[in-house]
Chains A and B, each alone.
Chain A
Amino acid sequence: MRTDPPGEVLRPTRPFGGTVAFLWTEVLVQAHESLAMATAMVTQTVLLVFVYILNPSLIGVALIGAVLFSAFTLGQRVLNEAAYIRIDHKANDLYLAGPMSPEGYFLGMAAGILVVYIAPIALLGGLAVVVGHLALTTSLALLGLAGLVWLFAASIGYIFSTFFRDNRAIWAYASLFFNVFGVLPPVFYPFGFFPPALQPVALLMPPSAAAALLQSRIGEAALSSGQAELALFGLVAETVVVFLVAIFWARRTVRGP
């Protein structure tokens, strides 16, 4: 029988090794969470109902915002899942003791959650395209920007998850973070409604930056070229930096032998 030499541990075979395997593990785990799936769209639906009842003329903008917000709140799912596996199941040590790389664990988890929750987001996207009469290029821009927002949120969610020691405290902090970034800035309402002095701040927040770029494409926001560049480059740069930090942090927080 072949055994590993004493004192040696299995090392990750390559960077991002195990991503696909853990993606499907996470898909199977999440697919059993019918309750969590049922609640995936609650906040978005509530905000859309507010808009529909109080100002129906904004429903096109709100639907685009709902798609971006949905991609953003997947980060909260990653946070909950990573914390739950670590704190409640204490299974992350088990997963990471194998040849799976730490970044594969993080990315596989985030991608698995995305796969499971993609259907309701696609439904919202379809509604946004139909109701907002979005052109093909705008629809593709929506897809690409939602992808960037997802990567940013998943990375932030994973990093935050490593700071919690108690499952009970997660909801309060996570809810605050994702509502401050997702509901307060102009994601569900036109960019022009936001106070002018604070508009640069909104352009530096990924969900509202993506929303402002899309609103400008459909004529609901008037962005100067400088504002558009700030939104686009800010979003790309923040996403890349936070993703790299998440990879570094995933490797850094693995418990050594």
Chain B
Amino acid sequence: MATVEEQFPDLPTTGRALPSFGLVGWRWISRNPAVTITPVLIPFIFLYFLSLISPPALLPLEIVGAMLFTMQNIGSWVLGDSATWRIECSLQDMFVASPLSRIRYLFGVAFSNLIAMIPALVVLFLLLDWIGGAQGHPVTWLVVLALFVSLFTLWVLFSAVGIAISSRVRTQREIWPVGNLTFTLLGMLSPLYYPISALPPDWQAAARFLPTTYAALLVQGALGITPATPSQMVLYAGLLGVCATVGLFVCLRLYRWGEA
């Protein structure tokens, strides 16, 4: 049987997925400003709450936690978008029929949602620089590198989690509860807003299976909030990579694209 390329030689086999989805993301936030305001404000609401009930020395750790949690939550937005487009708009068949591959689609949707989160991340980074510097945890190049690696890994991984779940969701009604339950629980099990040593032993053991834990420990170590030797930092980075690779593998196995 002739392939698509043989049947339609002029059909483009590649596309500008990122700019296209970037435009989708921009149009979405320009039409709904709350979509940008909400991810900016919600971490601050939680940070304000945490700053009232916890020692002030934990604030830099909590800001890092808010950055990682914001990035993790992109997965929930990817889930929402992808499921809405498939179930409500019936658009996925068009994407499948186009030259877009499922991986490019994943990165496209993830990128469009990253646009809405960037203001929150920028504000949180500036706050970290200010508060961290004032409390003896300055933002060095090592911190910037650790933050970038951690945020990028979580962005890819949790976007994949979101899109894998979205491909299994059957109704519009399931989207919000499934996303809320999955991403909030994953975020809370990891020591994002408190030191891992503050958790009960069994909880600490469970948290060690989650990539977000190593992302948090890596950045906390780079900032000097949670003491870590260089070899421990390398270990955290390695475990983050291993957890993310395993997670990505599982997600891509679950992710339905063209079939049924």
Contacts and interface: CB of A to CB of B under 8 A. Distances in A.
A and B part of one assembly: yes
Contacts of B35: 169, 172
Binding site secondary structure of chain B = helix
Contacts of A80: 176
Give the interface residue-count category, chain B: 35 or more
Contacts of A94: none
A46 to B, nearest CB: 5
Interface string B157-177: 000000000000000111011
Contact of A183 (B34, B46, B88): B46
A172 B38 contact: yes
Nearest to A29: B173
B25 to A, nearest CB: 13
Given A54-B58, A176-B37, A176-B42, A36 B177 contact: yes
B84 interface: yes
Interface string A35-77: 1101100110111011101110010000000000000000000
B32 interface: yes
A51 B54 CA distance: 8
A80 B54 CA distance: 34
Contact of A49 (B58, B80, B178, B188): B188
Interface string B174-191: 101110110011001000
Contacts of B130: none
Contacts of A13: none
Given A84-B172, A84-B173, A46 B54 contact: no
B257 interface: no
A39 B84 contact: no
Binding site secondary structure of chain A = helix
B45 A183 contact: yes
A222 B176 CA distance: 39
Interface stretch (B102-110, B141-149, B192-200, B235-243): B192-200
B194 to A, nearest CB: 5
Contacts of B34: 169, 172-173, 176
Contacts of B52: 189, 193
Contacts of B180: 39, 42
B218 to A, nearest CB: 21
B53 A51 contact: yes
Interface string A174-191: 011001100110001100
A50 B184 CA distance: 13
Interface in B31-51: 32, 34-35, 37-38, 41-42, 45-46, 48-50
A33 B45 contact: no
Nearest to B180: A39
A88 interface: yes
A84 B35 CA distance: 19
Contacts of B172: 84, 88, 167
Contacts of A168: 80-81, 84
B53 A176 contact: no
A70 B256 CA distance: 36
A54 B46 contact: no
B84 A167 contact: yes
A173 B31 CA distance: 13
A95 interface: no
Given A168-B84, A189-B49, A54 B181 contact: no
Nearest to B40: A176
A171 interface: yes
Contacts of B38: 172-173, 175-176
B173 A33 contact: yes
A51 B58 CA distance: 14
Contacts of A84: 172-173
A185 B187 CA distance: 23
Contacts of B48: 184
A51 B174 CA distance: 29
A90 to B, nearest CB: 12
Interface in A132-175: 167-169, 171-173, 175
6 contacts: A50-B193, A54-B50, A167-B172, A169-B35, A171-B80, A193-B53
Interface of B: 32, 34-35, 37-38, 41-42, 45-46, 48-50, 52-54, 58, 80-81, 84, 88, 172-174, 176-178, 180-181, 184-185, 188, 193-194, 198-199
Given A36-B176, A175-B38, 17 more contacts: A36-B177, A43-B184, A47-B49, A54-B54, A54-B194, A54-B198, A88-B172, A169-B35, A172-B34, A172-B35, A176-B37, A179-B45, A180-B41, A188-B49, A189-B52, A193-B52, A193-B53
The 4 closest A-B pairs by CB, nearest first: A54-B54, A35-B177, A39-B177, A55-B53
